[in-house]
Amino acid sequence: MIKDTLIETLGIEITHLESGKVVATMPVDKRTRQPFGLLHGGASVALAETVASIGAYELVDKDSEGVAGLEINANHVRPKTEGVVTAVGTILHQGKTTMVWDIKITDEQDRLICVSRCTMAVLKIKK
């Protein structure tokens, strides 16, 4: 599912997946930096929504449900110019039609780079 997607393009790797928690890494390099050399806020948001989406998908009935991002916000609290960031997403609310995920993105020293909250819609699908 990841091949030929934004996940692959940005170098995002899922390193841990369990019910209600997802951990992923993303490099800070030419793919994810903005013109001034800093980690692009949009790349951080893409990482956050990826973590929430994968986590939400793991919690639904894959035969009759899908998920899609409904809303996301992010606070970029520390700049990052190189290395790797790690996103840890945990579920805050799991309802029948929505889920809310908390995502914290940190650097190699566990310093907070970005904090995000993502609301996922749970969609009924027809086969």
What is the rounded distance in angstroms from the CA atom of residue 110 to the CA atom of residue 48?
A: 16
The string of pLDDT tens digits covering residues 27-67 is 999 999 999 999 999 999 999 999 999 999 999 999 999 99
As a whole number, mean pLDDT of residues 86-115 equals: 98
Answering whether pTM is above 0.95, one says yes
What is the rounded distance in angstroms from the CA atom of residue 42 to the CA atom of residue 37?
A: 14
In this predicted structure, what is the pLDDT of residue 124? 96
Residue 16 has pLDDT above 90, yes or no: yes
In this predicted structure, what is the pLDDT of residue 32? 98
Q: What is the DSSP string of 85-125?
A: EEEEEEEEEE-SSEEEEEEEEE-TT--EEEEEEEEEEEEE-
* Architecture of the 6-124 domain: Roll (3.10)
Residue 127 has pLDDT above 90, yes or no: no
Domain ranges of the chain: 6-124
Residue 89 has pLDDT above 80, yes or no: yes
As a whole number, mean pLDDT of residues 80-100 equals: 98
Active site residues per annotation: 49
In this predicted structure, what is the pLDDT of residue 2? 85
Alpha-carbon distances of 20 from 10, 46, 64, 110, rounded to whole Å? 24, 19, 19, 21
Residue 104 has pLDDT above 80, yes or no: yes
Question: Residue 122 burial (CB < 10 Å; 0-12/13-18/19+)?
Answer: buried
